[in-house]
Amino acid sequence: MKTFTERLWRAAWVMKLAARNLFRQPRRTFAVLLTVGLGSASLFLFQGFNTGIMNQYRENSIHARYGHGQLHTRGYLETVFEKPWEHWIDNYDEVAGALKSMPEVKQIFPRVEFFALLTNGSINVSGHGTGVDGVEESTFFTTLNVEEGKMLSSEEDGILLGRGLAHALKLGPGDRVTVLANTVHGSLNGIDLTVTGIFHTGKKEFDDVAFRIPIAQARKLLDTEKVESVAIGLQEDGLWDSFSRRAAAEFSALTPTSFALLDKVYYQNSVDWLKSQFDIIRLIILSIVVLGIFNVVATSIFERKMEIGNLRANGDSSVDVMLLLLAEGAAMGIVGAIVGIAGAWALNSGLLADGILMPPAPGLTRQFHVRIELDVLTAILTFGLGSLCCIIASLLASWRVAKMGIGDALRSI
């Protein structure tokens, strides 16, 4: 029985001979490295594109409209009320104090939504308004694209108009507009405001009716001190589940709802549809890459039947031959996968640094850039897949060739 030292020397000899063989046939080695590298790079970039587009959808929903989620009174979202304001949050100061003490919460945004009639004196257009804390929201809702003017912030009489609504009213930054709405008591009320900016989210049906005003003005217009909902900005994206459990325990009369449910049609349905589509495309790419690696590696080994026959004739066993070919395959798989991943990362940092310009998605009216987001975990998985494919292909092909008779191998051309 061989000692540990003998086994170690044997392994070192196999690795030395494998390295010599790789440099002795540079054309064959380059073909395998190129196949493994391109396959690994393709998988790595495609997964990064998937991650980027999913994150783009998430960021658009969170930082343009909903926050990470919202708090409403229990059953408010599931029920249509004749007088919805009777079911708004009436103890906001108490709720706000408790929310600010929670470790997951970074910012809170009280809101009141209402329907109103906007007029510039000659044109009257109905709209869907939201009363917001402009100072707080201007630092969080950063993907609300303001194309003219500026975000609503500390202006006491400011109004931010959706693109379609502004065009219908023929208004621009600095113009005055009157907002008319019914108070919670049923009487008509109105306020005069100054347009601070015009925004668009890419969703035409929203941009055609939406406007934002300071929540103090909204409360004055509706004659109420209540708030309809509280939007939540978390310290990190992954903290919603923790916050939701804490909020449900803290507020028995309130229900936390994540942005994915609030924006189910645009966000959740789109993400589910894209995920299913990308899974199919990923499977196709993976199949092509795996079959390509198997083909190139197996062909390179079958071309060496005579060489293998000589090794067998000189006393090397089938196991020795398989170990040699397996060592060569492992080396090419490891180096090829590393080169492919490094090349993909360099390409993404250079040529694709600004992302890929995508046409408007279903339901949107604007183009957007998708950044390819590469991460270490995906790199490790891609490296493992590329290396493993090369090793398995080498094992299968070497087993078949090593089992051939010496005479048959020597007669191969």
- How far is residue 367's CA from residue 116's CA, in Å, rounded to a whole number? 30
In the chain, the percentage of residues whose pLDDT exceeds 70 is 83
Buried b or exposed e, range 42-81, using 16+ CB within 10 angstroms: bbbbbbbbbbbbbebbbebbbbbbbbbbbbbbeebeeeee
Q: What residues does 212 pair with on adjacent strands?
A: 130, 160
Q: What is the pLDDT of residue 8?
A: 56
Q: How many structural domains are present in the chain?
A: 2
Residue 14 in domain: yes
Q: Compare 373 and 17 and report the one with higher pLDDT.
A: 373
Q: Identify the CA nearest to 38 among candidates 344, 311, 249, 247.
A: 344
Q: What is the pLDDT of residue 289?
A: 74
Token pair, residue 239, equals 């903290």
Going by pLDDT thresholds of 50, 70 and 90, the confidence category of residue 325 is confident
287 and 402 in a single domain? The answer is yes
Residue 263 in domain: no
178 and 275 in a single domain? The answer is no
Q: What is the pLDDT of residue 120?
A: 92
Asked if pLDDT for residue 46 goes beyond 70, the answer is: yes
DSSP state of 15: H
Average pLDDT over every residue of 193-207: 89
Asked if pLDDT for residue 214 goes beyond 90, the answer is: yes
The SS3 assignment for 347 reads helix
Write out pLDDT tens, residues 379-389. 998 898 888 88
Q: What is the pLDDT of residue 32?
A: 79
Write out pLDDT tens, residues 217-230. 999 999 999 999 99
The SS3 assignment for 129 reads strand
269-302 helix and 318-349 helix, angle to the nearest 10 degrees: 140
For residues 399 and 346, is the Cβ–Cβ distance under 8 A?
no
Domain boundary among 252, 279, 303: 252
119 and 44 in a single domain? The answer is no
Residue 87 in domain: yes
Torsion of CA 152, 77, 163, 139, to 10 degrees: 30
127 and 26 in a single domain? The answer is no
212 and 160 in a single domain? The answer is yes
294 and 390 in a single domain? The answer is yes
- How far is residue 232's CA from residue 13's CA, in Å, rounded to a whole number? 63
Q: What is the pLDDT of residue 67?
A: 92
Q: Compare 202 and 79 and report the one with higher pLDDT.
A: 79
Domain boundary among 226, 252, 278: 252
Average pLDDT over every residue of 149-156: 90
Domain boundary among 225, 252, 279: 252
159 and 114 in a single domain? The answer is yes
- How far is residue 406's CA from residue 333's CA, in Å, rounded to a whole number? 28
> If you compute the radius of gyration of the chain from its CA atoms, what whole number of angstroms results?
32
Token pair, residue 75, equals 């059953």
240 and 285 in a single domain? The answer is no
Residue 194 in domain: yes
Token pair, residue 163, equals 């693109």
90 and 45 in a single domain? The answer is no
Residue 258 in domain: no
> 144 is in which domain, residue-wise?
75-252
Residue 262 in domain: no
Q: Identify the CA nearest to 132 among candidates 229, 263, 233, 234.
A: 229
221 and 338 in a single domain? The answer is no
CA distances (Å), origin 176, targets 7, 159, 197: 87, 9, 12
The SS3 assignment for 91 reads coil
Going by pLDDT thresholds of 50, 70 and 90, the confidence category of residue 55 is confident
| DSSP labels, 304-320 | THHHHHHHHHTT--HHH
Q: What is the pLDDT of residue 124?
A: 94
227 and 132 in a single domain? The answer is yes
113 and 230 in a single domain? The answer is yes
Q: What is the pLDDT of residue 388?
A: 85
The mean predicted confidence, pLDDT, of the chain is 84
Average pLDDT over every residue of 236-242: 91
Q: Identify the CA nearest to 159 among candidates 179, 136, 143.
A: 179
Average pLDDT over every residue of 188-197: 95
Average pLDDT over every residue of 123-133: 94
Asked if pLDDT for residue 275 goes beyond 90, the answer is: no
Q: What is the pLDDT of residue 42?
A: 87
Q: For residue 182, report the phi and psi dihedrals to the nearest 5 degrees.
A: -80, 135
Asked if pLDDT for residue 345 goes beyond 70, the answer is: yes
In the chain, the percentage of residues whose pLDDT exceeds 90 is 40
Q: Identify the CA nearest to 404 among candidates 295, 294, 322, 328.
A: 322
Residue 275 in domain: yes
Going by pLDDT thresholds of 50, 70 and 90, the confidence category of residue 71 is very high
